[in-house]
């Protein structure tokens, strides 16, 4: 029965039909948890594995055709304001055509500009991930989009059913604009409502954070949009803000395991797609106190090996002070797949290319990440999607938001 549900969702997603209500289907497929060599026959000899196998095959074929510069570029995701002014659009064009970036993160702006920029990213040889912080909906970044309550201000009666519906609605709005990746949910366990993470978190109970965060992410992914949980291995206990400093998480391994890692383990076990690693020093995991986003002990040993995560690993924005002094190459060598918002994208890409050509960095580090990125793009069907129709964009995005908003309050 579970295989049947997975198959039904995959067919719907690949046809870009909206509104599937089966959370586990999207989760398993988007994360690649359905193994490449699985041969599960369902119905009239239709194989679930064909869908993932096809995506892997397309990724391998594309990877073989790409230059080193193109492969490295795919591992970068610079940030841009969601604006349709000529300077911003020229910059986006340069990112796509000259630097071959794998995605962009949209900052503050409006729906129409976001849709135009997302549309540019769809009309390329290697379609872009167009990502946005939508921790409480598109209104967090886009001024004319529906604005939902922060996670810590949801009604106490909020449950997994409501959060799944909420995530599904956010995915619907994202699809209408052309956005295909949500940098959320925040599944940090925040015991202090006035702390650094504060109301961005679902609260101080690890079980509730896990239940609501995973339900929201499942809703997002049921709508054909990738979710990215943050900020691994947990920012909720940090005393400092990684935008301005490198916080040190002083918890023991036992405390980390029972509190901070609990929601991430639930997210990973649900087969969901992406994890963002923060700029946090965690001495219990990495005695060198490196920021987690550039730490092989955190990404490779803990996230990949111990917790078994097989999806996309993104860094938090590298232009934050918590990562100051560390280049993109360090994050990629540590196991990150995509570097978000570097200070100078061109310089960082050139630096990685130079390190590979000189033998200082193994090329298979980039190939492994690029293959993972391409796989997720093809599995989402980004190579077949079309730019959003700007007519009635605002009205269409807002359709359905009021019903969810009433339930969240």
Nearest alpha carbon to residue 336 among 195, 252, 232, 253? 232
Residues 6+ apart with CB under 8 A from 149: 136, 405, 408, 409
**Contact predicate 151/187, CB 8 Å:** no
CA distance 153 to 108: 22
Give me the residues paired with residue 47 across strands.
41
Q: Give the max Cα distance, the chain.
A: 58
Helix locations, 16-110, DSSP H = 23-31, 49-65, 68-74, 86-97
HSE at residue 45, side-chain half, CA atoms within 13 A, is: 0
Collapsing DSSP to helix, strand or coil, 274 comes out as strand
CA distance 287 to 231: 20
Give the helix/strand (H/E) hosting 170: helix 160-177
Residues 6+ apart with CB under 8 A from 66: 74, 126, 370
Q: Which tokens is 114 given?
A: 């976001």
Dihedral through CA 296, CA 300, CA 301, CA 303, nearest 10? 120
For Cα atoms 222, 108, 372, give the angle at the middle one, nearest 5 degrees: 45
Rounded to an integer, what is the distance from CA 367 to the centroid of its chain? 19
Helix locations, 191-296, DSSP H = 206-222, 253-255, 261-269, 296
CA distance 100 to 103: 9
CA distance 258 to 256: 6
Catalytic residues: 243, 316
Q: DSSP labels for 182-250?
A: E---B----S-TTSSSGGGSS-S-HHHHHHHHHHHHHHHHHTT-EEEEEEET--TT-SS-TTTS--B--
């Amino acid at each position: 029965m579970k295989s049947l549900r997975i198959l039904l969702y995959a067919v719907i997603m690949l046809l870009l039909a909206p509104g599937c209500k089966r959370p586990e289907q999207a989760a398993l497929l988007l994360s690649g948890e359905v193994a490449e060599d699985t041969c599960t026959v369902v119905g009239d000899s239709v194989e679930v594995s064909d869908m993932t196998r096809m995506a892997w095959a397309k990724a391998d074929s594309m990877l073989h055709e790409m230059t080193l510069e193109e492969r490295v570029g795919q591992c970068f995701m610079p940030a841009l304001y969601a604006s349709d002014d000529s300077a911003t659009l020229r910059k986006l064009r340069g990112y796509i055509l000259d630097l071959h970036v794998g995605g962009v993160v949209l900052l503050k702006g409006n729906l129409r500009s976001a849709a135009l920029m997302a549309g540019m990213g769809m009309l390329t040889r290697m379609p872009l991930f167009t990502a946005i912080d939508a921790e409480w909906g598109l209104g967090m970044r886009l001024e004319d989009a529906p604005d939902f309550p922060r996670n810590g201000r949801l009604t106490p009666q909020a449950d997994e059913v409501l959060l799944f519906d909420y995530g599904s609605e956010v995915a619907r709005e994202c699809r209408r604009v052309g956005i295909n990746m949500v940098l959320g949910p925040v599944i940090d366990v925040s015991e202090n409502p006035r702390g650094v993470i504060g109301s961005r978190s679902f609260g101080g109970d690890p079980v509730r954070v896990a239940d609501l965060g995973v339900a929201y992410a499942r809703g997002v992914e049921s709508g054909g949009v990738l979710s990215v949980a943050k900020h691994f291995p947990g920012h909720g206990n940090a005393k400092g803000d990684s935008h301005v400093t490198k916080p040190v998480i002083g918890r023991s391994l036992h405390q980390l395991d029972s509190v901070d890692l609990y929601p991430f383990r639930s997210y990973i076990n649900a087969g969901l797609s992406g994890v963002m690693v923060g700029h946090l020093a965690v001495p219990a995991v990495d005695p060198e106190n490196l920021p987690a986003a550039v730490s092989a002990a955190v990404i490779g040993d803990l996230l990949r090996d111990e917790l078994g995560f097989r999806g996309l690993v993104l860094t938090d924005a590298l232009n934050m002070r918590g990562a100051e002094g560390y280049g993109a190459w360090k994050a990629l060598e540590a196991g990150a797949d995509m570097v978000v918002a570097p200070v100078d994208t061109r310089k960082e890409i050139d630096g990685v290319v130079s390190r590979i050509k000189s033998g200082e960095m193994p090329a298979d580090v980039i190939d492994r990440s690029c293959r993972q990125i391409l796989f997720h793009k093809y599995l989402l069907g980004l190579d077949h999607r079309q730019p959003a129709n700007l007519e009635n964009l605002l009205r269409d995005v807002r359709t359905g938001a009021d019903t969810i908003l009433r339930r969240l309050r």
